[in-house]
């Protein structure tokens, strides 16, 4: 049996080779040959969509595609100027004025609770797209004393989703889509150190651990809330501002092979609007419009049901502390 270091080297190598074949622009083009274009020929006017982190990259590309098809889009962003700029672009490209900006810092649990309760009182919601994310390469704490990656990628998403579940349940054909990452394949859930207090800190691995947590949350919610269709997905390796700033070396090395933002967003849009997606079982992990395994072969990355349950209890415990 491989020791822990050997196992993580094995996982990282297998994952990178898989990525070169599947997560690149070439991987997308090969997969897209099997897409049914009619899947996205839908009119979603009258349906309401929240997209977090919608001011650039995959979130903005998804906002654009959904607005073009008549959806009411609520862009949840942190930076006001960038958000208004993005809204202007989305409206121009889609000729749809039903695009609204909400300013929320997803790393602040109180702000997330506040937003969700205000939104629920004033709007209906059919689809929640959890796309906001960050990869902070040093261990940084928020003003609440939470590790920043965990606060944004895991706890913020947990609070937003659980707070909006009652509103989603009132709608027809409600869906929750979470933009995870294939990077989660290199991580096994570690429920004993959610905020990376032990050992040396590695931002990329912290991010991958958060992305594993998102997949598990999706599976858990799907089992609990049968009325809502939950899914998580991997956008592939896309050329987004977030990749450029968080992973400059990777971006430099891979830039000619990276997907466009629209290619990265394709499965998000497909999961959010197509009938074909809602016919898939709830709780699955998708890549290029297909459900795929959440584990690499022989990678010992599976957690036990008890560990998965412990993750949910710990998040609930933390979330309640910050409830307004």
Hey, which residues are catalytic here? 207
> Do 184 and 243 touch, CB atoms closer than 8 A?
no
Pairing of strands 290-291, 284-287: antiparallel
Residues ≥6 apart with Cβ < 8 Å to 275: 39, 42
Up-side HSE of residue 186: CA atoms within 13 Å toward CB?
Answer: 22
Element (H, E) at 113: helix 109-122
Q: DSSP letter for 320, please.
A: H
How big is the chain by its Cα radius of gyration, in Å?
A: 18
Q: Which of 298, 323, 310 is nearest to 193 (CA)?
A: 310
> Do 60 and 131 touch, CB atoms closer than 8 A?
no
Residues ≥6 apart with Cβ < 8 Å to 90: 60, 63, 64, 67, 73, 75, 96, 99
From the CB of residue 143, how many other CB atoms can be counted at a distance below 10 Å?
10
From the CB of residue 279, how many other CB atoms can be counted at a distance below 10 Å?
8
């Amino acid at each position: 049996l491989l020791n822990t270091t050997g196992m993580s080297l094995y996982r990282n190598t297998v994952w990178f080779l898989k990525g070169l074949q599947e997560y690149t622009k070439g991987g997308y083009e090969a997969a897209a040959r099997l897409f049914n274009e009619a899947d996205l020929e839908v009119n979603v006017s009258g349906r309401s969509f929240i997209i977090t982190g919608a001011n650039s990259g995959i979130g903005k590309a998804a906002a654009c595609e959904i607005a073009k098809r008549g959806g009411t889009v609520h862009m949840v962003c942190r930076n006001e100027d960038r958000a208004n700029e993005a809204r202007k672009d989305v409206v121009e490209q889609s000729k749809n004025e039903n695009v609204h900006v909400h300013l929320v810092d997803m790393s602040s649990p109180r702000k997330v609770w506040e937003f969700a309760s205000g939104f629920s009182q004033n709007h209906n919601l059919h689809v929640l797209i959890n796309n906001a994310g960050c990869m902070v390469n040093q261990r940084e704490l928020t003003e609440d004393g939470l590790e920043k990656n965990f606060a944004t990628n895991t706890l913020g998403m947990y609070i937003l989703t659980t707070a909006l579940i009652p509103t989603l349940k009132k709608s027809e054909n409600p869906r929750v889509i979470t933009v995870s990452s294939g990077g989660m394949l290199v991580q096994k859930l570690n429920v004993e150190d959610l905020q990376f207090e032990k050992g040396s800190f590695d931002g990329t691995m912290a991010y991958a651990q958060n992305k594993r947590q998102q997949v598990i949350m999706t599976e858990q919610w799907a089992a609990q809330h049968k009325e809502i269709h939950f899914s998580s997905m991997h956008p592939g390796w896309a050329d987004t501002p977030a990749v450029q700033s968080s992973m400059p070396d990777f971006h430099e090395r891979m830039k000619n092979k990276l997907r466009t933002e629209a290619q990265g967003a394709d499965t998000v849009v497909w999961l959010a609007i197509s009938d074909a997606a809602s016919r898939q079982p709830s709780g699955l992990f998708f890549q290029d419009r297909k459900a795929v395994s959440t584990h690499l072969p022989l990678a010992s990355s599976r957690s036990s049901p008890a560990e998965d349950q412990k993750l949910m209890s710990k998040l609930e415990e933390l979330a309640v502390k910050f409830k307004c």
